[in-house]
Structure 1
Amino acid sequence: MSENIRILMTDDHPLITEGYQNILLATKKEHQNLIIDVASNCDESLKYMNQAEALKRPYNVFFMDISLPASSDGKFNSGEDLAVYARKLFPEAKIVILTMFNEPYRIHHIIKNIAPEGFLIKSDLTSSELASAFQAVLSNPPFYSGSVNSFIRKAISDDIVLDEINRKILYLLSQGIKTKNLKEHIDLSMSAIEKRKKHLKTLFNVEDGNDENLLTEARNNGFI
């Protein structure tokens, strides 16, 4: 018996989405009928999702890149935002994240916010892995690529436990954001941020107060 599988792919590189489509169509099971829509930015993706919801023709699978042109109203700035919206609109759908980002903070944040059924780092990706991931998320999710699994294993086994805010502080510092500007990105007072930084230096045994040494230790422990 034929099974219709509605898919929305969102990526701003047409050659990439064309490649994804060709792989899925070439490796699908005989009873699977793939109906694929393609969006190249947040606005197009939102249009497809809202139309599908209005027509009561929900998507079964979403393939989402993280780095995307923002929506025209400024409310959606990434594939991560779109995935959160898709999860609310189509709670039964499977979400597959495909991204070049492989920083532990981003991986942790995406898993916590979205809990995707599939999570693939593009630098890991092969055609066979994409085909395997697609079938796995349909029947036996989750399917995570090697880099994601390595991060999860390290996070589970690591003795150092950081909450979301501390992870974000480390990530922002690693991106060159100065301590005095952190409060623009984190809803905390300057004194609270300084207190957290002091705690982080204690956790990572950084005694000289140098941010670069803190970042080095955080990298060595896989947190950024």
Structure 2
Amino acid sequence: MEHIHILMVDDHPIIIEGYQNTLMATKKEHQTLIIDTANNCDTANILLRKAADERPYDVCFFDISLPASSDGTITSGEDLAKICRALMPTTKVVILTMFNESFRIHGIVKEINPDGFLIKSDLTSLELSEAFQHILFDPPYYSSTVSSFLKKAISNDEYVDEINRKILYLLSQGIKTRSLTDHIDLSMSAIEKRKKQLKSLFKVEDGRDETLIMKAKEKGLV
């Protein structure tokens, strides 16, 4: 019997329940699934660190848009995926998200290089079960929208990296631009340049930080 340890992280319990039911109903006869769940970054972080000390997960599913950790250092499923990679290098990392903009997909692939990348609007029970088995034995598995975007060329500066996401998060928490250098190891001119690039990428025509944050929230970046 093969015991497969899984972590599922999503802020909607009913979605996790659906994932669980699908995998349990479609697993192979020789497979036993042991599934932990988390609805926020704090709980997921605790489970990841506990597993790293005891028995690493075989597969971790991370939704991108999650409530930030209480100390603000972990703001998304992307951050959790990086923690997982650092603590448990052999664990298969699967990203699930509603967001399907090209720059978002390319950014996640570049930053995380996930073993599985599924857009929720592509997902059916059949595809989830097929993706799970594929990821276990022959990763990566990318759903159709992801594969389509990855076939198209995109410039290297058209994705939102970890620093840009931190800038967006800090601005969303009310931190003024002049104080960002206290939290990010960049010069003010470098931060201003990044903000300008973000406003261009998100088509912020009025130039206001408030509009930038609104657009970032719409895209699940904060």
5+ residue gaps, structure 2, are 172-176, 206-222
What are the within-5 Å matches in structure 2 for residues 125-164 of structure 1? 125-155=123-153, 162-164=155-157
Distance 1:31 1:76, change over 3 A: same
1:75 aligns with 2:73: yes
Q: 2:160 & 2:42 partners in 1: Cα distance?
A: 27
CA RMSD of aligned residues (A): 3.0
Partner secondary structure for residue 67 of structure 1: coil
1:45 is matched with 44
Distance 1:28 1:191, change over 3 A: closer
Distance 1:124 1:190, change over 3 A: same
1:36 aligns with 2:35: yes
**Residue pair 2:107, 2:160 contacting (<8 A) in 1 also:** no
5+ residue gaps, structure 1, are 156-160, 201-209, 213-224
**Residue pair 2:104, 2:160 contacting (<8 A) in 1 also:** no
Q: Cα distance, 1:192 vs. partner?
A: 8.4
1:158 is matched with none
Distance 1:127 1:75, change over 3 A: same
2:108 is matched with 110
Partner secondary structure for residue 58 of structure 1: coil
Q: 2:156 & 2:36 partners in 1: Cα distance?
A: 38
Distance 1:168 1:67, change over 3 A: closer
Q: What fraction of aligned residue pairs are identical, expressed as a percent? A: 55
Q: 1:167 & 1:32 partners in 2: Cα distance?
A: 38
Aligned residues: 184
2:56 is matched with 58
Q: Cα distance, 1:106 vs. partner?
A: 1.1
Q: 1:190 & 1:124 partners in 2: Cα distance?
A: 38
Q: 1:75 & 1:191 partners in 2: Cα distance?
A: 19
1:6 is matched with 5
Q: 1:107 & 1:9 partners in 2: Cα distance?
A: 20
Q: 1:25 & 1:190 partners in 2: Cα distance?
A: 49
**Match for 1:13: what amino acid?**
H
How does the TM-score come out when normalised to structure 2? Answer: 0.74
Of the two, which has the highest radius of gyration?
A: 1
Partner secondary structure for residue 95 of structure 1: strand
How does the TM-score come out when normalised to structure 1? Answer: 0.73
